[in-house]
Chain A
């Protein structure tokens, strides 16, 4: 029998910004800086100076790293030609705060952009600066400040980050366990133990799950006067501005940790039941072990477990509720509306994202132990997550998940349930989304009037270009 030929596509790591392939986890300090240009010529000169400093995926930085992402408004400010600007996808052009995008993302009520700290008016670009220590970060930030100031660039917001204990997020749950693996990064993809994804799902210029090149921004060949850009794979009249870049979705999510644990406590007879209830909402125990594999109690040996499905083990959601956070953001092999495991798996795979976010703000308790958080008083400190995901198709990947799975209150045959952790919970004439259903014998339990445990405080859609694309923008006159 002849084996299927393996796609031997090689990723152009020296043209890809490092964060797309690495989390820079060894650089534990980081700041995200939002800026506005004030002069197009200076802006382009700034990019020319910056390009050699941008960390590529070919490097493994040990001290500092710097990455750049631009919004549609930012690129429009650079006076990129109209055919180039028009070639970006509609979601990116409209921006996260356009009325219809708000509707799709569920950014209404408490989460409406008018209540955000930033993003209602789009910044022009974001620098993401990483350091191996707070001191290293400060040195890098000083250099960045000098560079931006000398080019008349206005600093809009500084978003500091802080890694938390044991890779947890602020509610006290192990985070970022389920990550899609890019096939082209593996030496022997045919031997991969877990599901792998073609690079084109996350990096433009490569083939995606549909075996086609993801839609990407382009430049008419005649307009690439310096020949910075590679040809477009499907159209010889165009150059590929997207190659080795991607779209970066940024959402600043404030986490209401005190309210979260107080709600659990109010619904439970003791602390252990409160933790079990919170785990039902998440779909994993605080240590990360999945309820599907260990429904009765956490199992530390399974804290990184990711090789499980719902179709065989928990179709009805008796262990891990259908409406729980992990079943919505990655339904794996079971979608209630599908009639087969194969179809469910195929459908779910088409909506994955690479996540690169970091928490911000001080932990509610240093070790993020839920039992201590239940008993601790409100400290009125702001904390949360800078959610970052990278996708080649904003609509199919990020917006689909946010709209169809996270916020749709009818997900999986449910009636009034948005995602219990990150969904927008409210109750008005036309919609009620503040319930959480726990399938159990004899009759399901329904929790009502869930407050919003997370609030959106800012956000924007960015283009995270490859180095050559960045050079084109800097060279463009």
Chain B
């Protein structure tokens, strides 16, 4: 068990003439959602976000038509199988109705377990980022009310509080929490703390170990004549050589003149932003064919794997969740994010700092219409405006979007967690003062 936040992506192809019908269905479900939000959140207990949309056909490398698709992208806490069961159980009829429009959907009637199998079979890997790691949907509400109750209690401390030492204040708060039956859960240790970290970090640790073992073997080969050492010793140099070779091929590909995306019409932009009217959290889906050349597909695939390895350490401000994935034999890049406030403000986060513009170029520079780069990360002329045009040109309308909660920003969620983590934790006075600021 864990409380790691993960992403599920399910996709099937769709005949183009059915797009408007499926869009209509999804928009109807969107309307239902407004009425039945509470039912959704009680039935989809492990689900944070759900984006469901159709993707029109796109053209790859000026000649190959990539098929229209239906995409269902969810983020959840817990095991994938229980998440699939949760989806099939609560959204079964809707899933069948929408996916039933695809030729990939079985002709025979599916029961719940059949639907689970279908979703599983049609799911594809993604690189997933969460801005609030290890917080479950249940934690979101509990931690919010914990902080509110303690803040209320803190008002009573105010007069004498200024003269009370941080240690005493902390003890008073901890005693208050212990004495409130409804807050008894908060006095306990946060579950899965260690196993969450291990589960997230072991692939990186394994990768690092293999590379380290290879390096050490390389040195030991000078002194020992063992077959295993010789085999291991090859891994690191081969990895470096392959990456270097791929970099050279990428550099050659970068010489292909930049083709900007046609600018999105004002009308289309208005259609997209008209759905971005949620007070705190909104969603953005950008799907673009890759620039031509097989090296782009290979390089992006390796990049996404490496990004996945370091996801534990990644930080993207104001983002609740983000995911990147390749579809259609690597020829399409899908990016979806759930973030605080509006996409126009959010998109700036990627280009307003030099460092982040470089990081983003590692992925987005492979997508058609996005700015040209040199050696993957070095910007070329009009990087910022081409980037913003690229985002808009490939942004899709997400017909159905569900969020477990609409009220708390990423910073709110993180602060609530920091406050909970500080309860019953040993701290010095300076640390307590800092901890109290999260209240």
Chain A interface residues (CB < 8 Å from chain B): 90, 93-94, 100, 103-104, 210, 212, 215, 234, 316, 335-339, 342-343, 346-347, 350, 395-396, 399-400, 403-404, 408-410, 412-413, 415, 430-431, 439, 441-446
The segment from B113-121, B291-299, B429-437 found at the interface with A is B429-437
In B209-249, which residues have CB < 8 Å from any A CB? none
Establish whether residues A443 and B382, one from each chain, have CB atoms under 8 Å apart when the complex forms. no
Residues from chain A with a CB closer than 8 A to the CB of B409 are 410, 413
Task: List the 3 closest A-B pairs by CB distance, nearest first.
Answer: A443-B154, A413-B411, A337-B317
- Please state if B355 and A343 are interface contacts (CB–CB under 8 Å): yes
In whole angstroms, what is the CA distance A104 to B349 when docked? 17
Complex A-B: 11 CB contacts under 8 Å: A100-B273, A234-B382, A338-B317, A339-B315, A339-B317, A346-B353, A350-B352, A410-B280, A415-B412, A431-B279, A443-B161
B345: which of A103, A212, A404 is its contact (CB, 8 Å)?
A: A404
Hey, which chain B residues are within 8 Å of A100, CB to CB?
270, 273-274
Q: Mark B341-361, 1 if CB is under 8 A from A, else 0.
A: 110110011011111100000
Q: How far is the CB of B185 from chain A (nearest CB, A)?
A: 22
B195 at the interface (CB under 8 A from A): no
Query: Which residue on chain A has the smallest CB distance to residue B165?
Result: A442
Which of A338, A409, A439 has the most chain B CB atoms inside 10 A of its CB? A338
- The verdict on A337 contacting B154 (CB below 8 Å), with A316-B437, A413-B411, A430-B279 known, is no
Q: Which residues of B are found within 8 Å of A335, using beta-carbon distances?
A: 317
- Verify B348–A400 contact, CB threshold 8 A: yes
CA distance A466 to B270 in the complex (A): 30
B169 close to A (CB within 8 Å) = yes
Number of interface residues of B (CB under 8 A): 51
Q: Is the CB of A412 within 8 A of B411?
A: yes
Contact among A342, A343, A442 for B436, CB-based, below 8 A: A442
Cβ of B60 < 8 Å from any Cβ of A?
no
A443 touches B348 (CB 8 A): no
Interface core residue of B318, B352, B410 (most chain A CB under 10 Å): B352
Report the nearest B residue to A93, measured CB to CB: B266
Q: How far, in angstroms, from A431 to B273 measured CA to CA in the complex?
A: 19
Contacts of A413 in B (CB 8 A): 409, 411-412, 414-415
Contact B385 A443 (CB under 8 A): no
Q: Which residues of A contact B317 (CB under 8 A)?
A: 335, 337-339
Instruction: Give chain B nearest CB distance to A444 CB in angstroms.
Output: 6
Is B428 engaged at the interface, CB distance under 8 Å to the other chain?
no
B-chain residues with CB within 8 Å of residue A395 when the two chains form the complex: 344
CA A212 – CA B357 in complex, angstroms? 15
Interface positions, chain B 267-309, Cβ under 8 Å from A, are: 269-270, 273-274, 277, 279-280
Contact flag A442-B157 (CB < 8 Å), given A90-B266, A100-B270, A403-B341: yes
Partner of A442, one of B169, B270, B345, B354: B169
Residues of B near A338 (CB, < 8 A) are: 317, 353
B158 sits at the interface (CB 8 A): yes
Q: How far is the CA of A210 from the CA of B382 in the complex (A)?
A: 8
User: Considering only CB atoms, which chain B residue lies closest to A316 in the complex?
Assistant: B437
Interface contact A430-B406, CB-CB below 8 Å: yes
